[in-house]
Structure 1
Amino acid sequence: MLSCLLLLSLGIGQVVASEDGWAAKVTQALQTARGLPDGHPKLSTGPEVALEGPAGGPAQIGRSIPDRDVPAHYTRQELLDALFLELRDADSLRNAQAISRRIHSLFMQSGSHTLDLLMMRVGTAIDNKDYGLALDLLDAVVRLDPDYVEGWNRRATVHFMKEDLGRSLADIEQVLRIEPRHFPALSGFGMILRQAGEDEKALEVFQHVLSIYPLLENAQDAVTSLREELWGQYH
């Protein structure tokens, strides 16, 4: 699985806020993250079984439940809403990771054989470190479907690998436009801010990540270290 969470383990060059366009992009993307609600949307339609836990309703998509008056199908948005609620309330790391994988699988679903084929070729290009080809393919993906969230997310990752932070940040903003709860993209945003020396803003973003995915270990570690660094700066 390749996502913006890769940003948490990669090093980048120093970026300064005075770089052309950089400060404006940071401000715009930060406003996107700040605008997110503290809570998460409740399941507006559909049965309550969709909130029953990691083995509950969301796992039943496409299947009816014996002896219960429950529809066989949920909309993609209903399923995502339920899974994000489960992720927020998960009581163990194992359950949280399982829910996270299911959310990622929904992000990956394009509904298009053409996009699926392009994304497979992107994965191969990235494995071969052919980032130019990967970007050409991803440019086609986001042109074909500007609302396909994983196209933007993957392109943000490749731009980061090429140390093109401005373009990476612009693509992260597109991810958050489509899905504001996209915790891998938010984590990538926090890492970019941190590398740019914007520790207070980075802390804010990572804290927001934990409001979505409280058991995400990389975000927990980032919050702990940022708090220690900021405390050291003022004491």
Structure 2
Amino acid sequence: MRFVLPILVGLAAHSAHADGCPAAPDHADTLAELVSQIQAAETEVEARLISNRMWEYWADAPDEPAQELLDRGMERRAAYDFLAAYEALDRLVAYCPDYAEGYNQRAFVSYLRQDFPAALDDLDRALALSPDHIAALSGRALTLLGLQRLAEARLDMARALSLNPWLPERGLAAPGGPLAPTGKDI
């Protein structure tokens, strides 16, 4: 019996895993290398190419059903069909609760709908799962800006820019921008 129990537990765990969303692919090492590359990029064009590669990894869903939901959500968002986009991404998050990009994309839809509290909740979850997710950090800064929580927004934008100094949103943190560092001019 003591040999049968571990086998039964293993089979039950495998069955539960097979019925639900598998673990997302682990691209942490590759993404860390891409962060190093983007920090060393000398031109915006070079940085954009590296950023596009990052998106390929972030948008690599755990399995085919998850990929279909992610793709559908992003397609519907691009078509300004925010309701269908949200519904697809909501199903993705329910199916794959440990996949950061599902939350990040659902947050983007909420942000576009100006539902900043919902966006912030999803971005917090995305960052809990993937702390160096640059797009989620930047999105969180923009969401906090929308909520007029400027001090927090500045911190998140600074963190995002420390990972990718070429972010398109970097102008918000430049002198005169709403997320520019505060303090005395020298």
Shift of residue 196, structure 1, vs aligned partner = 2.5
Q: 1:162 aligns with which of 113, 128, 136?
A: 113
Query: Partner of 1:218 in structure 2?
Result: 169
Alignment size in residue pairs: 158
Q: 1:142 aligns with which of 93, 98, 114?
A: 93
Residue correspondence of structure 1 range 40-119 to structure 2 within 5 A: 76-119=27-70
Q: 1:184 aligns with which of 132, 135, 146?
A: 135
Query: Partner of 1:200 in structure 2?
Result: 151
1: CA distance, partners of 2:155 / 2:67: 35
Describe the superposition over 1:173-203 as per-residue Cα deviations: whole angstroms up to 9, x where unpaired. 0111111111211112112222322223222
% of aligned pairs identical?
A: 25
Normalising by structure 2, report the TM-score: 0.75
Shift of residue 108, structure 1, vs aligned partner = 0.4
Shift of residue 77, structure 1, vs aligned partner = 2.4
RCO (CA 8 Å, sep 6+): is it higher in 1 or 2? 1
User: 1:176·1:182 contact (CA, 8 Å) conserved in 2?
Assistant: yes
Shift of residue 151, structure 1, vs aligned partner = 0.9
Shift of residue 92, structure 1, vs aligned partner = 2.0
Shift of residue 228, structure 1, vs aligned partner = 6.0
Query: Partner of 2:81 in structure 1?
Result: 130
Normalising by structure 1, report the TM-score: 0.61
SS in 2 for 1:91: coil
Post-superposition, which runs of at least 4 consecutive aligned residues in structure 1 deviate over 6 A?
none
Structure 2 residues without counterparts, runs of 5 or longer: 1-25
Taking structure 1 as reference, are residues 131 and 228 closer, same or farther at Cα in structure 2, changes over 3 Å only?
A: closer
Give the root-mean-square deviation of aligned CA atoms. Answer: 2.3
1: CA distance, partners of 2:37 / 2:139: 23
1: CA distance, partners of 2:30 / 2:179: 35
Describe the superposition over 1:95-154 as per-residue Cα deviations: whole angstroms up to 9, x where unpaired. 211111111100000131111212222233223433222222111111211122221111
Structure 1 residues without counterparts, runs of 5 or longer: 1-74
Structure (1 or 2) with the greater helix fraction? 2
Query: Partner of 2:6 in structure 1?
Result: none
Deviates most, 166-175 or 178-187? 178-187
Taking structure 1 as reference, are residues 119 and 228 closer, same or farther at Cα in structure 2, changes over 3 Å only?
A: closer
Residue correspondence of structure 1 range 18-57 to structure 2 within 5 A: none
Describe the superposition over 1:16-47 as per-residue Cα deviations: whole angstroms up to 9, x where unpaired. xxxxxxxxxxxxxxxxxxxxxxxxxxxxxxxx
User: 1:90·1:96 contact (CA, 8 Å) conserved in 2?
Assistant: yes
Residue identity in the other structure for 1:226: P
Q: 1:120 aligns with which of 71, 75, 82?
A: 71
Taking structure 1 as reference, are residues 77 and 200 closer, same or farther at Cα in structure 2, changes over 3 Å only?
A: closer
